[in-house]
Structure 1
Amino acid sequence: MAELATFTFILIAIIAFSMMSAYRTTTIEDNGHEMQMEISRSFQNQCPNSVQGNSCDEYLKFLIGNDIKKCCLFLNNVTKQCQCTVIQRTHDKAQKNWAADEFARKSIHDAAQSLPNDCKLSVKDWRIEGPKG
């Protein structure tokens, strides 16, 4: 009986630990106020790696004003939890495939960084990683 209780205790501890480690705290600055939100790693992995018809690819590739409307429409149809992830992945792809020099890398980085504000997304002060080369 003691072995069963020990086994149950260990099993509960493992489950609790795995659930606790599946979360991370992200600090977002919103108009000078800091907010913390828990983001589940397993949920974050649900964001698509490559999204078919990602209109932001074209915008970050050519940086043409008309393409930003299509990009914003696309981002507003992506779940709010995945918007930053999709922007980051699109940014990284653009940096890798289309940035020929430092000026292009900076232009792509700046355009991707301004997408949350330009597209009126809910996360405004999110910072993109980069510029990457």
Structure 2
Amino acid sequence: MAKLATFTFILIAIMAFSMMSAYRTTTIEDNGHEMQMEISSSFQNQCPNSVQGDSCDPYFQFLISNHIKKCCSFLNNVTKQCLCTVIQQIHDKAQQRAADEFGRKAIHDAAQSLHNDCKLSGKGCQIQGPKG
């Protein structure tokens, strides 16, 4: 019985330690305001199935260069493993709002060059073409 209690105590201690070490605090600056978020490292290496990417909406809606700064700031906080997936998702979301083929082409070109325009680290992303 004592061995079972010891084993249970050790198991609980290991689980508690792993849960405590699974979080880290990340500071993100948005328009001069700092926000702190706790991010679970167990989810850190997984790309989200859907991304808000609201910071990029104004840029892709109007394709005006003065809107790109907020989008780049958002993308600089995305993990390298997920960056192309996130850009593709933002691209696809913008494509759905495009009025015509010309708009879809412009959105595709903007998404394709986003990696360079934002000076993101790593290699560029191959964005799948206009949907429509």
Q: Which bin holds the TM-score, normalised by the shorter protein?
A: 0.5 to 0.7
**Are residue 66 (structure 1) and residue 40 (structure 2) matched?**
no
TM-score between both structures, scaled by the size of structure 1: 0.60
Distance of 1:90 and 1:63 partners within structure 2? 13
Equivalent positions of 1:43-122 (< 5 A) are 46-52=46-52, 54-96=54-96, 98-122=97-121
Post-superposition CA distance 1:12-50 (Å, at most 9, x none) = xxxxxxxxxxxxxxxxxxxxxxxxxxxxxxx9x921233
Letter in 1 for 2:130: P
Alignment RMSD (CA, Å): 2.2
Distance of 2:52 and 2:63 partners within structure 1? 20
Distance 1:102 1:53, change over 3 A: closer
Identity %: 78
Do the aligned partners of 2:53 and 2:90 also contact (CA within 8 Å) in 1?
Answer: no
TM-score between both structures, scaled by the size of structure 2: 0.61
**Are residue 124 (structure 1) and residue 123 (structure 2) matched?**
yes
Q: CA deviation at 1:69?
A: 0.5
User: Which segments of 5 or more consecutive residues in structure 2 lack a partner in the other structure?
Assistant: 1-42
Report SS of the residue matched to 2:99.
coil
Do the aligned partners of 1:63 and 1:111 also contact (CA within 8 Å) in 2?
Answer: yes
User: Which segments of 5 or more consecutive residues in structure 1 lack a partner in the other structure?
Assistant: 1-42
Q: CA deviation at 1:56?
A: 1.3
